[in-house]
A and B are shown apart, each in its own frame.
Chain A
Amino acid sequence: MQASRQQPRSLKHQLWVAFLVVPPIVFMSLFVVYPILSAFAYAFYDWQGLARGEFVGLKNFREVLFGATMAPVVWNAFLHNVYALIALMIIQNGGGFFLAWLLYKEPFGFRFHRIAVFVPVVLSTIIVGFLWKLFLNPNFGIINQALYSVGLDSWAKPWLGDSSTALGALILANAWHFVGFPALVYLAGMQRIPPEIIEAARLDGTNEWQLLKNVVWPLVAPSTTILFTLLFIGAFNWFEIPYVMVGLDGSPFGSTDVLGLVFYRTAFGNQSASIQNFGMGSALATLLFLFIVVFASMLTLWLRRREIQF
């Protein structure tokens, strides 16, 4: 057995491996690697509409980060991405963790709830966006109607038109959409914990909070690693929910603007307001890509270190 395994592979076997490996490599190179590299290259040129002009070095990058026109827009959007990251970390991942704990304890009807929590994740983001836009409509939306019906008239607001509530409304819609995902991942993580450990902790007289904090939370660290990293990437690539609910402009007056929207407007233009600038769009995309790669790797390394073997 051992000897035959070390014999050189037959040609037929090698062809078979090549047959399996080559198509995905070609596909990835053509549709992922090539566009990323070309966007990187485009960022160094001046663009006259669609025609590539002369090589301008780092000018587009300077404009995006420090230029009088672009930089305020970019940093404003970046700040909103950071808000979204922090808020979603607490509401979406934190909420998911507690939902998972409730489901883990198998309350009455937990099989139903397990599915119910996950169903919104399956829905298309476009549908969720439109649904929430209807819910939040100031005049006939279900949320304001509910507030009126219980006499909380002063709480009713034009949610998506008010600059103080619009970003929050988008974050909540996103959390509603995706909370089932962290819930499911955490539930799987909790079910991997050997029951003896939890039983032992209970016998030692820990209360629920101590159990969660000192036993469950450290032991689901691998789930936390993957969820935090994915949320980090998702929060900085955030596009669909804002696009569907407030449009390309980050309306009202930039209070919901995020980097994804800025990138789209800059690279492809906004039919009802502005024209396209390929070079700056590419520069922004490149910067965003580098930012995400560097910080997501650092975050992953840091989170990995807190994982415990058991």
Chain B
Amino acid sequence: MKLTRRILMAAAAGSFLLSGTAAMAQTELTFWSWRQEDKAFYQDIIKKFQAKEPGITVKFETYAPENYQTILSTALAAGRGPDVIQARAYGNLETIATSGYLLALDQQNVPELANFPEAALAAETLRSNGKVYAVPFAMQAQLVVYNKKIFKDNGLNPPKTWDEMMALAQALKAKNINPFSNGTATAWQNETIVGGLLSSMLGKEFEADIVSGKANFTDPRFVSALAKLKDISQYFAPNFIGVDYPSSQQLFVAGRAAMFAGGSYEVANFKNQNPTLDLGVFPAPVLKAGDQALIATYYDGGYAVNAKSEKKDAALKFVRFLATPEYGTAFTNTLKNLSPIKGIKIEDPITQDVAKLAENSMSYLMLVRFRYQEPSGSVLLQSNVQKMLAGQQTPEQAAAEINKGIATYYKPFQK
């Protein structure tokens, strides 16, 4: 009895030592993310990475999206945190990058950065020093998602101009079909609706004028686009001012509305909930035939390296792997989200459509340009459009309020 126990203990100690030496040769990286739903995908990618780099293991850990920034911030401030970080973009990237917690990336330590378009890198660049801090992972677009079956049953085609859109919405409503499932009770939905429906009427030139200060948000292009939005809101979900984001999604997923103005990321989500849906996408309608049709694009975030990590070399190897077209292809085809990496092969037809539409795009304006200071352009746009659509202010008033808020810190508007 005693002997058996001793043998067992010796065996246990031996295996412990063995596993210890095995781990010595391995470098273990930790990788934090807020994408719990993509866990299987990332685990698969890590396996592929390990096939190339047998000496490195990667531990993938996720946190709830709403707490992610707080948990990450706290860990980084305490000098800890993971080696590889899934970081956000624009203003939210700045809050962690400004503090020096992220390693600056360039063509020397990550040559694959050459695979990315300019706008994607800009999303992960700190404005104060012009350095890139993360490898971008997804491009998103605001556009219109439509139910092909409803369109076909009623002999309709995706509208090109705003007038066609209005006529189409009216035709659907006359047949007792909800034209749009959108609602405005969830504040940020107002911003996605503006991006999905008004981008073509605003236009690239408007964006350039805002950036240079030649125009501000009281510009007639912006005011008249808001007026058009007010006009079409009669075709949103019934009682749309009280319809929140999940309810509007459900209405569309159940096949009880023909269109949803919002993010390209909705498509995969809608399909998951109802695989029988036959969906298509089209860009915001133009004011008059011949104008350029646009979608509003932005980048979700990127993969960054912790500046205080003791395993920077291994972490950089992993991040470089996440910047290859091979990875971009897997990301795009598995998650149905468009990777910004050049030269990827897209299988999913809707993602192909989004990629094609993205060739003509303007920025998702408030997130890309005005979410760095308070009151952010997003806060102003969301609440003032919500108020306008509730009938409590005119498009002129909404535009003036938005402009007033941004002008408190935006130099080009202060002239």
B-binding residues in A (CB < 8 A) = 48-51, 68-70, 133, 136-139, 157-163, 246-247, 249, 251-254, 268-277
CA–CA, A49 and B390, complex, Å: 35
B121 to chain A, nearest CB (A): 20
Contacts of A138 on B, CB cut-off 8 Å? Answer: 238-239, 242-243
B239-261, CB under 8 A of A: which get 1 and which 0? 11111100100000000000000
Name B's A-contacting residues (CB within 8 A): 65-66, 69-70, 73, 76-77, 91-92, 94-101, 183-188, 191, 237-244, 247, 371-376, 378-379, 382-384, 386-387, 390, 392, 405, 408
Closest chain-A Cβ to B410's Cβ sits at a distance in Å of 13
Are A271 and B66 in contact, CB atoms less than 8 angstroms apart?
yes
| Inter-chain contact A69/B69, CB cutoff 8 Å | no
Which of A157, A162, A268 lies in contact with B70, CB distance below 8 A? A268
Report which of B65, B66, B375, B392 forms a contact with A69, defined as CB distance below 8 A: B375
Query: Which listed residue (A157, A160, A276) contacts B185, Cβ 8 A?
Result: A160
A10 to B71, CA, bound (A): 47
- CB-nearest residue of chain B relative to A251? B187
Add 8 more A-B contacts to A246-B185, A249-B382, A269-B69 (CB < 8 A): A51-B98, A51-B100, A162-B241, A163-B392, A252-B383, A253-B392, A275-B376, A276-B73
Q: How far is the CB of A173 from chain B (nearest CB, A)?
A: 15
Nearest opposing residue in chain A for B384, CB measure? A253
Q: Are A271 and B386 in contact (CB under 8 A)?
A: no
Residue of B nearest to A140 (CB): B247
Contact in complex: A158, B185 (CB < 8 Å): yes
Quote the shortest CB–CB distance from B395 to chain A (angstroms): 15
Provide 25 A-B residue pairs closer than 8 Å at the C-beta atoms, listed in order of the A residue: A49-B99, A51-B98, A70-B374, A161-B242, A161-B243, A161-B390, A162-B241, A162-B242, A247-B186, A249-B379, A251-B386, A252-B187, A253-B387, A254-B383, A268-B70, A269-B69, A269-B92, A271-B66, A271-B69, A272-B187, A273-B382, A274-B378, A275-B94, A276-B95, A277-B374
Distance between A43 CB and nearest chain B CB, rounded to angstroms: 17
Residues of chain A lying within 8 A (CB to CB) of residue B374: 69-70, 274-275, 277
How many angstroms from the CA of A162 to the CA of B392 in the assembled complex? 10
Chain A's interface: helix, strand, loop or mixed, by majority?
loop
With contacts A68-B408, A252-B387, A253-B386 known, is A161 near B95, CB below 8 A?
no
**What B residues does A251 contact at CB under 8 A?**
185-187, 383, 386
Complex: A78 Cα to B12 Cα, angstroms: 63
Contact of B242 among A50, A158, A249, A270 (CB under 8 A): A158
A29 to B270: give the CA distance in the assembly, Å: 49
The distance in angstroms between the C-alpha atoms of A127 and B95, with both chains bound, is 33
A2 to B3, CA, bound (A): 62
Give CA–CA (A139, B243) in the complex, Å: 8
Residues of B within 8 A of A51 (CB): 98-100
In the bound complex, do residue A271 and residue B92 qualify as a contact, i.e. CB atoms below 8 Å apart? yes
What's the minimum C-beta distance from A136 to chain B, rounded to whole angstroms?
A: 8
Nearest CB on A from B253, distance (A): 14
A273 and B405 alpha carbons, distance in the complex (Å): 14
Q: Decide: B96 and A50 in contact? CB cutoff 8 A.
A: yes
Q: How far is the CB of A230 from chain B (nearest CB, A)?
A: 28
| Cα of A50 to Cα of B66 in the assembled complex, Å | 17
Set of chain B residues within 8 Å of A160, measured between Cβ atoms:
185, 242, 244
Q: Quick one: which of B101, B371, B378, B379 has the most chain A CB within 10 A? A: B379
Residues of B within 8 A of A254 (CB): 383
- The residue on A at minimum CB distance from B92 is A275
Known contacts: A69-B408, A247-B186. The answer to whether A139 contacts B239 by CB under 8 A is yes
CB closest chain-A residue, reference B401: A253
Residue of A with least CB distance to B385? A253
Query: Chain A's nearest CB lies how many Å from the CB of B7?
Result: 43
**CB atoms of A158 and B239 under 8 A apart:** yes
Contact between chains at B390 and A252 (CB < 8 Å): yes
- Could you tell me the distance between the alpha carbons of A245 and B242 in the complex, rounded to whole angstroms? 11
Given the contacts A69-B408, A273-B382, A159 and B392 also touching, CB distance less than 8 Å = no
Is B376's CB under 8 angstroms from A157's CB?
A: no
When chains A and B are docked, how far (Å) is the Cα of A161 from the Cα of B378? 19
Report which residue of A51, A68, A272 has the largest number of chain B beta carbons within 10 angstroms of its beta carbon.
A272
User: Hey, which chain A residues are within 8 Å of B392, CB to CB?
Assistant: 163, 253
Nearest-CB residue, chain B, relative to A49:
B95
In the complex, the 4 A-B pairs of residues with the closest C-beta atoms, listed nearest first: A158-B242, A161-B242, A49-B95, A138-B239
In the complex, the answer to whether B239 meets A273 with C-beta atoms within 8 Å is no
Q: Are A275 and B371 in contact (CB under 8 A)?
A: yes
Residue of B nearest to A249 (CB): B187
A247 and B187 form a contact (CB under 8 A): yes
Is A273 touching B247 in the complex (CB atoms < 8 A)? no
Contacts of B100 in A (CB 8 A): 51
The CA of A253 and the CA of B373, in the complex, are separated in Å by 19
- Chain A's closest residue to B76 (CB) is A50
Q: A275 and B99: CB pair below 8 A? A: no
How far in angstroms is the closest Cβ of chain A from B26?
Answer: 31
Residues of B within 8 A of A48 (CB): 98-99
Contact partner, A139, options B101, B238, B379, Cβ 8 Å: B238
Bound form: Cα–Cα A159–B239 in Å: 10
A49-B98 contact in complex given A251-B186, A268-B70, C-beta closer than 8 Å: yes
User: Considering the chains assembled together, what is the distance between the CA atoms of A85 and B387 in angstroms?
Assistant: 26
Which residue of the partner chain, among A69, A159, A273, contacts B187 with CB atoms under 8 Å? A273
- For residue A73, which residue of chain B has the nearest CB? B375
Which of A68, A160, A249 neighbours the largest number of chain B CB atoms within 10 Å of its CB? A249
Known: A251-B186, A271-B92, A275-B372. A50 touches B239 (CB 8 A): no
Query: Which of chain B's residues has its CB closest to A50's CB?
Result: B99
A275 touches B95 (CB 8 A): yes
Instruction: List residues of chain B with CB within 8 A of the CB of A276.
Output: 69, 73, 95
**Could you tell me the distance between the alpha carbons of A161 and B391 in the complex, rounded to whole angstroms?**
12
- Least distance between A24 CB and chain B CB atoms (Å): 25
Task: Give the residues in chain B near A136, CB-CB below 8 Å.
Answer: 242
